[in-house]
Amino acid sequence: MNPGWLAAVLHALAAAPPAAWLRGSGTAYLVVNAAHIAALGVGVGAAVLMDLRLLQAVGRRLPLALLGPFLSRAAACGIGLAAVTGLWLFSVRPVDYVDNPAFLAKLALIALALVNVWVMHASGRWAAALQQGMAGCAARVQALLSLALWLGAVLAGRWIGFL
């Protein structure tokens, strides 16, 4: 079970008006859930396309300097919206979700994916790939890792409802 302070935070989150409203309205829940799925489609879809481009598996004729910044921003916007809608969906049943192993796996995979993004940018590998028009070996390894992490997070997210 959760420590007392965490249980108190989770119960307060569940009692908050936005959570209560979402819990009480099937239509609102449907819309927020659809927005979450759409945001995931944009965010993870852009990340996957970017990773595949870095791996030179798709879009070799498209300049990375042109495609990369667009896909990076699309991924950031999609994942940001998915985080907001995901937190709202979480607020409906936070005590249940925090004990769900698939939910915890999803959070861990997302955290690792975001660290991977940070390392790619902070190391200069992203800027170098944009400037050179192709990714170096370390950036390609990170692109493979990114693919595994983002797709794993989506899979874990789908698994939540089955546990």
Q: What is the pLDDT of residue 3?
A: 78
pLDDT at site 161: 86
CA angle 102, 104, 111 (to 5 degrees): 120
Question: Domain residues for 78?
Answer: 4-162
Q: What is the pLDDT of residue 2?
A: 65
| C-alpha dihedral sign at 11, 102, 122, 49 | negative
Residues 93-151 have pLDDT tens digits of 999 999 999 999 999 999 999 999 999 999 999 999 999 999 999 999 999 999 999 99
Type of residue at 19: A
- Structure tokens belonging to residue 152: 């794993």
pLDDT averaged over every residue in the chain:
95
Domains of the chain: total:
1
**62 contacts: CB under 8 Å, gap ≥ 6:** 53
34 closest CA partner among 69, 82, 96, 104: 82
